[in-house]
Amino acid sequence: MQAVNTGFQRIVASPLIRDICIAISLSALSIFGRILTNQFHMPNIQPSTAIIMIASITLGMRYGIAVAVATALGSNIALGHGPWTMWQICAWGSVAIAVSFLKPVYKKLPIYVLVGCAALTGYLYGFIVSSPVWAAGPQAFWLYYQAGLLFDTFHAVGNAAFMGMLAPILLRAVHKVKL
């Protein structure tokens, strides 16, 4: 019995298992948050991008990308899958890659820097999700992209607001679990 208990404690204490559990929890929170905020009919205002950013800067790029993929696939079960799902994965994955470079320094950054980065990622996301229209030609792409800038701005403002609200809570929670 002692051997089983020791083995179980070793598995639970494993940094790999711990980080996977944190990533799964952040994925579930992101999926639920995206589905919940969709009920209020606020275009592009949802917590997913901020949560993906938090996963990437605390756990690393691979986990950030995993949360991005889980968010797109999981939330689109309720919201609807289509060709846009692949582009959502690419866009949120790109956000995870971009902010992962903050991992070594994010503990020293003031919250307003993370909030500003979150706002910028709204435009990065919108640009990538709009990129399939490039197949119709550059002029069609720029017209399409300009038409969607208001929605990208909603996304940017929502990202900034959710990062400001969630970062203090989730960063502290992730650090407590990682200790």
Q: How far apart are CA 106 and CA 111, in angstroms?
A: 9
| CB-based contacts of 43, cutoff 8 Å, min separation 6 | 151, 154
Q: How far apart are CA 137 and CA 142, in angstroms?
A: 9
Q: How far apart are CA 176 and CA 179, in angstroms?
A: 5
- Domains by residue range for the chain, with CATH: 15-178 (1.10.1760.20)
As averages over each run of 10 residues, the pLDDT of the chain (179 residues) reads: 54 79 97 96 94 98 98 97 96 98 95 98 98 96 97 98 98 89
How many other C-beta atoms lie within 10 A of the C-beta of residue 11? 11
